Amino acid sequence: MFFHNFKYSLKTILKNKMLIFWTLAFPLILGTFFYMAFSNIMESETLDTIYIAMVTDNEESAVVTALKELNNQTEMIVFQKETKEVAESLLAEKEISGILFLENKTNFVIRENGIKETIAKYVCDEIIKMTHIIEEKINVTLKEEFVENQKEIEAIIFRCMEEMNQYFQNYVPNLQNENHSNLNYIMIEYYTLIAMSCLYGGIISLMAVNQTLANMTEKGKRISVAPVKKGIIIFSNVIASYCIQLFGLVILFAYTIFILKVDYGSHLLKMIALALTGALTGVSIGIFLACIFKIKESLKLGILLAYTMFNCFLSGMMGVTMKYVVDQNIPILNQINPANMITDGFYALYYYETDSRYYQNLIHLLLFASFLLILSSLRLRSQKYDNI
């Protein structure tokens, strides 16, 4: 009975043109647009070490101390002390990406807009913000005893370094990793594309489960009174949905790798494992929405699409800095965002030496999917109808 229903579920889904478009064709079209929009950027710009001139009269200040320590911890951005005249000359000759003035008033100056300049600006904005915090704290501690001043200032410097270090570790590639010969920040767009494709599997599972609900379709009414176990029918429909979603992911990976020439790095098998888990999460979201809401199918689809695109937006699809902004200001959103779990797992594989962050996202996705499936199962078991 399972295989019989599985076969006909596959046929039914494949005949639905709307489903095929959103789950198979739309990710390919969007990936093509990404390639057309960003290919020239990726070819013309490489993320080499970014040099920033630092102009200051006080080499013993807390900020200068933090920047010197930061130079020892990363080679992505290097701050070099220069005089104002030399710094302006280097900037005019494009030898540096910007000048960070730490004299009377902290300020960052760039000559033109570009990838390096954009990254440098975001980093220096964080530095300027931390500088103001440091100045306020130091002014307060100067009113106390000297020993207490020293301890407080050291703690402030440490927090400043931690903040800036977190920025580099999370959002700027580590160029020292010899496996990452083609690092670029545009990869986050393709990660969110895969995440979106995974979550779009919920469209298939939502419509498949709807077909088994007596309050949604005529077919559901017949299934409810048929002398077969309803669980087997629903399970076979869900497995058919998952298989078609996996087929769509295979096409997407093949298209981006062999046609668009996207370099996903050397951890392709782990990426595929994460995508399989992400697809399971997408299917579980569709099942959950189908079971929980007693509304029209079109409204359920609207909710699913809005939820998916909002999550992709927060994870960086419409702007690569959005992921950082959310992590800095509302971290809980990304911690419960399945699209961010997928993209963050890819990001961890691509940029980090260790896999701990990757496995953390993988486990969170499994827990998220399991939680939704359990709730959906309880909801289905409790459903009863007065009349069919």
* b/e map 234-246, b = 16+ CB within 10 Å: bebbbbbbbbbbb
Q: What is the pLDDT along the chain (388 residues), one digit of tens a residue?
A: 678 778 878 888 888 888 888 888 999 999 999 888 876 665 555 556 788 888 887 776 666 766 776 677 666 778 888 888 888 888 888 888 888 887 767 777 877 777 677 777 777 777 777 666 666 666 665 555 444 555 565 565 566 556 555 555 554 444 334 344 444 567 888 999 999 999 999 999 998 888 777 666 666 666 666 666 767 778 888 899 999 999 999 999 999 999 998 888 788 899 999 999 999 999 999 999 988 888 888 899 999 999 999 999 998 888 777 887 888 788 888 889 999 999 999 988 877 777 888 999 999 999 999 999 999 888 877 665 544 4
Nearest to 346 by CA among 200, 195, 224: 195
The span from the CA of 201 to the CA of 159, in Å, is 42
pLDDT at 359: 94
Q: Which amino acid is at 3?
A: F
- Here the tokens at position 235 are 């399970």
pLDDT at 369: 95
Q: Say if residues 100 and 31 touch (Cβ distance below 8 Å).
A: no
What Cα–Cα distance (Å) separates residue 214 from each residue in 105, 220, 230? 69, 4, 11
Residues 6+ apart with CB under 8 A from 135: none
pTM exceeds 0.85 = no
Q: Say if residues 320 and 347 touch (Cβ distance below 8 Å).
A: no
Q: In this structure, which long-range contacts are made by residues 104-111, counting pairs with CB atoms below 8 Å and at least 24 apart in sequence?
A: 106/63, 106/131, 106/132
pLDDT at 73: 65
Helix axes 187-199, 338-351, angle to 10 degrees: 140
pLDDT at 146: 46
pLDDT at 101: 85
- Here the tokens at position 308 are 């998916």
